[in-house]
Chain A
Amino acid sequence: MPDWFEAQHLDYSYANGPLVVRDVSLASTPGTMTAVIGANGSGKSTLIRMLAGLLRPRAGKILLEGILFEDWQPRRRAREIAYVPQSTAAAFPFHAIDMVLSGRTPHTLRFRFESVADVEKAREALETAGAAHLAGRSFTSLSGGERQMVILARALAQEPRLLLLDEPSSSLDLKHRAALIRALAGLSEKKNLSVIMITHDLQLTGAFDRILALRCGEMAAAGTPDEVLRDDVLRDIYSDPDVHARRIGDQTLVWVDL
């Protein structure tokens, strides 16, 4: 079976600058979770923005169901792929539930309003994201972590088959971070959702099927957590000789000597 979502040999540079992503390839099959790791400025966000269709690669191609990304009608593609940005600024005090409801757009006809069923789906998504209690709050009044949960709910309301997340855990506390990973793993198992997520939190990556590591825009390592979360590989990715990884039960603990 060919890979359902596939990026081949992607290059990217901003304006006339140097390449910030160079020859990166990855593939995802339904129901798998992929973590993208790497140091700051290693090209992770640029990569995921290309996968979300927000940036056009300088070279290489992205295929969804074997069809080139550009050949997909944007609304049709939006039913397949959802994106959770690192942070969302808000100029207007939209209610959280309305933000989530906007995720239903690709599923409703152009001049139709969202139906009662759509509102129901939005509420479910808020529930799944652990943000049901925020429904009636105004987005501008929420904290960074709360906003992140609402934005995740919006992406879930989109009912995509592939979910792209850019460091969703960065502003979440310990409890919500774990809840996020559990929710994603649950959706991946039950609804066959594919996940590609950028994270700096290496401990979370133990729950993923695959890890892709970037260094200076290039692929430094790719494989299962067991293959990537190792002293030698991590030291190479972060260019730091003091990184350690130890397996304790099901979890991998990663730390740096100070």
Chain B
Amino acid sequence: MILSPTIGTRVVRALAILTLFLIASMAVGLSVGSQHIDPASLFRDSFSRTLFFRLRLPRVLLGSIVGSSLALTGGALQALFRNPLADPYTLGVSGGGALGASIAIALGWSSRVAGIPLVFAASFAGAMVAVSLVRTIARTGAVVLPGALLLSGVAVNLIAAAGVLTIEYLTDPSSALRILRWLIGSLDIVGLQPIGRMLWVLAPAWLALLALSRQLNLIAIDEDTAATLGVNVRRCEAIVHTLCALIVGVTVSAGGAIGFVGLIVPHAVRMMFGEDLRIVLPGSLLLGAAFLILADALARTVLPSGELPVGAITGLAGGPVFLWLLRRRQQYAAM
């Protein structure tokens, strides 16, 4: 395989292609639904306008934000732990966030501090505890044990799920129903306001994470190598953990724990454009958005009446990909 001369051109080409794909996906996401909306009618008909701007557009935007966030953090966590099976879902970060958010919902914390909903904060705290726990258990000295990493992720997920279940059982029925509906993972929102609130936190975190692409690329190759090339590995690791917990926390508190987006999307970008994290991370941001918009469009249209939760679609697509990656990794290990 002949590679084009510089990484710069590869990045530009990859991002251009993925941006076009995202635009196309948005067009699809905006045009499908139980009610057909004719673009021309947006100017004449106030019902169409309301439907479009209060429901359809927010939903597509939320899908793109959640998809971007999960895919970006998935790519970053895979590099950080040098493990192709890592993602917010498999490492229990989403689970921790879900538990935090459930506690907040059960306690009726709908209030905000300095404009930030407490559910965001609780979810971030839960995600942070999960990622710290998983890392502490899996890291012995300078080595992150791949088996221990995934197993501790499984354990954290189970604990978090049990915690959520307990809360649902103990809390009043209306809160329990809210938690249940939200846990399945849905992109059903009304109005553009929540989107703005999320972006206010997420956009800076995305940018901060993208700014670490190069360091993460070196860490993905080898930690010692990164250190001898001038990367402060420990500091980078701490920043990436915090940013991932923040992004996943906010995402989960808005859209529930949608699985496997963070696993599939970075691998798809790798397969198309190569391993360099300077392509994989921004590429995942774009493709993650497109992927979740399309998954949600499918979820909305696959049943003759009503809709499937989008988490069911991503889970059905992601589970087999996980198994396939596991099989491929065992083949590496056997070599």
Contacts and interface: CB of A to CB of B under 8 A. Distances in A.
Interface of A: 52-54, 73-78, 81-83, 85, 88-95, 97-99, 101-103, 105-106, 110-111, 113-116, 118-119, 136, 140-141, 154, 158
Interface centre among B1, B7, B229 (most CB of A within 10 A): B229
A158 to B, nearest CB: 7
Interface stretch (B23-31, B54-62, B218-226, B293-301): B218-226
Contacts of A110: 214
Given A92-B270, A113-B278, A114-B6, A83 B228 contact: yes
Nearest to B9: A113
Interface in B174-194: none
A56 to B, nearest CB: 12
B47 to A, nearest CB: 48
Given A75-B230, A91-B82, 13 more contacts: A85-B225, A88-B222, A90-B222, A91-B146, A92-B82, A92-B221, A97-B3, A102-B221, A102-B229, A103-B229, A113-B7, A114-B6, A140-B332
A110 B232 CA distance: 13
A110 to B, nearest CB: 7
Contacts of A81: 228
Interface residues of B, number: 34
Contacts of A116: 5-6
Nearest to A14: B141
B102 to A, nearest CB: 33
B68 interface: no
B246 to A, nearest CB: 22
A113 B228 contact: no
A85 B224 contact: yes
Interface of B: 1-3, 5-8, 11, 82-84, 146, 211, 214, 217-218, 220-222, 224-225, 227-232, 270, 274-276, 278, 332, 335
Contacts of B275: 92-95, 98
Contacts of A102: 217-218, 221, 225, 229
Nearest to A113: B8
Name the 7 nearest CB pairs between A and B, nearest first: A75-B230, A78-B230, A113-B8, A91-B82, A74-B230, A83-B228, A113-B7
Contacts of A94: 220-221, 275-276
A106 B230 CA distance: 7
B325 to A, nearest CB: 11
A78 B228 contact: yes
Contacts of B228: 52-54, 78, 81-83
A19 B242 CA distance: 35
A92 B222 contact: no
B274 A95 contact: yes
Contact of A136 (B1, B225, B278): B1
A74 B224 contact: no
B224 A54 contact: yes
Contacts of B211: 111
A90 to B, nearest CB: 7
A99 B7 contact: no
